[in-house]
């Protein structure tokens, strides 16, 4: 495995630019601001606390809080990581996203190392790295102030650590694997549980007497470092009654979004069928053959992760991100073996270019998403919260109260205002400010007497910002690469006679 591939180095530099450029573009949306607030509270209290100790609660019904308002909804490691960054660099939008973008960059590097473990074919290694570098969905998720990048990085690190352990099963390497699994547990349950299960299944199927003892010692350490947290601090979320209908809907969703945004599995399956019908065999690989257990470990890891995704109530593209580097290694192997090594190498390079830079192989609508992504990196984004936060910071005062149905965490992070709980938005209170977000309010509100009372006693202000449903989240279908011009402007109400000032 050469460590000095100029193509890989160039791709890593380019991916660094795409991941780290203009991280301050666009305010944090609700979930990002939640992570940033909990990091702030971690720095203040020593642990992630749902209450700021002064006036604001980060509402998380129906889960509530643990002892001393401890946050029990998510594992804590991302909050400690970001708290460290805030301690060193101060609080800002760019600082909030920086550590996670760096995790994304490290993920690309480790994907290269994992591909090199599985094959010495440089074309496969390079193509896998390039697929991540130019994947807009991957870049969007890695640039979020959320756990996604950390979970993805740690899953790939676990895979590498386990392969190193199989190559030389020492107790020291088992302890390293256990340490990474523990970090993954304290980052994201939904990635840790199927990952640990895949390791046990692989040991059961391909393990040996030489590997079993240190492996079980390492897993005992993992249990010791995780089980107390399950009992006292963490609570599972989004796990409900499993039904065949929900399993089918989840499976359909994940197959569809994988094909649309991540890997062209429909195209690959169809072309594999064509190759099989024409009795065309793939050319032999130029890379060194690895033991058969290693590729099957990757297949097992993917399979168990996908199976686990069918269990939770919710389904999101974000849940697939930790698997994406493993999927692109398989995609790279398929393209190199069937296209670049076939009888039509020029056509193969065309296919590679289409896979890297367009959506043509994944969607009937030809598009070049990198154009939109580069536009976002080079132009200022204005969403609804740019208008709301900007106006409140210019005209509000720290002792004032604001009511908003969504993105309350964004206001908490960027201002000193007290924010009423969004779940009580329809309760008839009359704070200093009322922010209207049309997509998040029941239609009955606009027809009822409560709004009429607000209009009678408040000044109506239209902001120079679109009232888009989302501030800006990472899902490609929902992400705004440029300002949304179609929604009406955000409306904010200021109580007449309320003092003006700056937060």
Looking at residue 272, its pLDDT comes to 86
Residue 338, pLDDT score: 83
The arithmetic mean of pLDDT across residues 118-132, rounded, is: 94
Model pLDDT for residues 168-227, shown as the tens digit of each residue: 999 999 999 999 999 999 999 999 999 999 999 999 888 888 999 999 999 999 999 998
pLDDT of residue 1: 46
Give residue 360's pLDDT.
87
Exposure of 261 in the CB half-sphere (CA atoms within 13 A): 24
Whether 298 has a pLDDT exceeding 70, the answer reads yes
Average pLDDT across the chain, whole number: 91
When pLDDT is averaged across residues 98-115 and rounded to a whole number, the result is 97
Q: What is the pLDDT of residues 156-173, one digit of tens each?
A: 999 999 999 999 999 999
Q: Tell me, what's the pLDDT at 428?
A: 95
Establish whether the linkage from the previous residue to 156 is cis, with ω within 30° of 0: no
Give the model confidence (pLDDT) of 354-367 as tens digits: 999 988 888 766 57
pLDDT at 208: 86
pLDDT of residue 97: 98
Answer yes or no: is pLDDT of 333 > 70: yes
Look at residue 296 in the predicted model and tell me its pLDDT: 74
- Please determine, for residue 280, whether its predicted confidence score (pLDDT) is greater than 80: no
Lowest-confidence region among 137-141, 307-311, 400-404: 307-311
Planar angle of CA 179, 181, 187, nearest 5 degrees: 110
* Cβ partners under 8 Å of residue 280, min gap 6: 342
| Burial class of residue 386 (count of CB atoms within 10 Å of its CB; 0-12, 13-18, 19+) | buried
Mean pLDDT on 102-130: 95
Whole-number pLDDT of residue 236: 66
Query: Taking residues 130-151, what's their average pLDDT?
Result: 97
Please compute the mean of the pLDDT values over residues 419-446 and round it to a whole number: 95
Q: What is the pLDDT of residue 379?
A: 96
Report CA 196 to chain centroid distance, whole Å: 20
Q: 2 pLDDT exceeds 60?
A: no
Give yes or no for a contact between 155 and 322, defined as CB atoms under 8 angstroms apart: yes
Query: Which secondary-structure segment (H or E) carries 350?
Result: helix 345-357
| Contact call for residues 396 and 415 (beta carbons, < 8 A) | yes
Q: Please give the model's pTM, rounded to 2 decimal places.
A: 0.94
Q: Is the pLDDT of residue 415 over 90?
A: yes
Percent over 70 (pLDDT), the chain:
93
- Whether residue 397 has pLDDT greater than 50: yes
Give 78 or 272, the one with higher predicted confidence.
Answer: 78
What is the dihedral angle through the alpha carbons of 234, 237, 243, 247, rounded to the nearest 10 degrees?
A: -100
Q: What are the distances in angstroms from CA 71 to CA 33, 190, 214?
A: 15, 17, 34
The pLDDT score that the predictor gives to residue 279 is: 62
Query: Sorting pLDDT into bands at 50, 70 and 90, what band is 291?
Result: low
Neighbours of 6 (CB within 10 A): 7
Evaluate whether 292 touches 124 at the Cβ level (below 8 Å).
no
Mean pLDDT of the region 300-312: 89
What pLDDT score was predicted for residue 209? 87
Single out the residue of 113, 103, 84 nearest to residue 141, CA to CA. Answer: 103
């Amino acid at each position: 495995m050469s460590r000095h591939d100029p193509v890989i180095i160039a791709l890593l530099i380019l991916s660094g630019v795409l991941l780290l450029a203009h991280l301050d573009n666009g305010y944090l949306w609700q979930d990002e601001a939640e992570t940033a607030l909990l990091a702030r509270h971690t720095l203040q209290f020593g642990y992630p606390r749902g209450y700021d100790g002064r006036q604001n609660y980060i509402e998380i019904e129906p889960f509530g809080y643990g002892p001393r308002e401890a946050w029990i909804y998510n594992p804590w490691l991302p909050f400690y990581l970001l708290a460290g960054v805030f301690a060193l660099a101060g609080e800002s939008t760019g600082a909030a996203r920086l550590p996670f973008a760096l995790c994304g960059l490290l993920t690309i590097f480790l994907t290269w190392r994992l591909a090199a473990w599985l094959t010495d074919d440089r074309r496969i290694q390079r193509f896998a790295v390039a697929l991540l570098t130019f994947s807009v969905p991957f870049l969007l998720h890695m640039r979020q102030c959320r756990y996604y990048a950390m979970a993805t990085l740690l899953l790939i690190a676990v895979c590498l650590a386990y392969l190193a352990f199989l190559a030389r099963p020492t107790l020291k390497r088992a302890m390293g694997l256990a340490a990474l699994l523990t970090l993954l547990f304290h980052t994201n349950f939904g990635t840790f549980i199927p990952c640990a299960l895949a390791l046990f299944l692989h040991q059961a199927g391909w393990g040996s007497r030489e590997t079993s003892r240190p492996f079980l010692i390492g897993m005992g350490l993992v249990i010791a470092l995780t089980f107390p947290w399950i009992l006292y601090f963490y609570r599972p979320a989004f796990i409900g009654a499993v039904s065949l209908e929900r399993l089918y809907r989840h499976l359909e969703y994940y197959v569809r979004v994988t094909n649309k945004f991540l890997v062209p599995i429909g195209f690959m399956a169809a072309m594999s069928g064509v190759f099989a019908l024409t009795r065309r065999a793939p050319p032999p690989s130029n890379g060194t053959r690895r033991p058969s257990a290693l590729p099957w470990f990757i297949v097992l890891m993917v399979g168990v992760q996908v199976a686990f995704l069918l269990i939770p109530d919710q389904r999101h593209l974000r849940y697939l991100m930790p698997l994406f580097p493993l999927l692109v290694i398989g995609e790279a192997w398929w393209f190199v073996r069937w296209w670049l090594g076939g009888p039509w190498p020029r056509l193969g390079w065309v296919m590679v270019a289409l896979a890297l830079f367009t959506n043509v192989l994944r969607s009937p609508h030809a598009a070049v998403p990198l154009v939109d992504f580069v536009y976002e990196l080079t132009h200022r984004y204005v969403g609804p919260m740019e208008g709301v936060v900007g106006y409140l910071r210019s005209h509000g005062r720290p002792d004032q109260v604001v009511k908003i149905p969504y993105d309350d965490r964004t206001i908490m992070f960027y201002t000193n205002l007290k924010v009423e709980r969004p779940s009580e938005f329809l309760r008839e209170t009359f704070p200093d400010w009322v922010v209207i977000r049309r997509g998040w309010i029941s239609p009955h509100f606009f027809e009822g007497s409560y709004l009429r009372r607000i209009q009678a006693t408040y000044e109506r202000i239209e902001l120079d910002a679109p009232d888009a449903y989302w501030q800006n989240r990472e899902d490609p279908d929902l992400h705004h690469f440029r300002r949304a011009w179609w929604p009406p402007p955000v409306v904010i109400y200021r109580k007449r006679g309320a003092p003006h000032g700056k937060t």
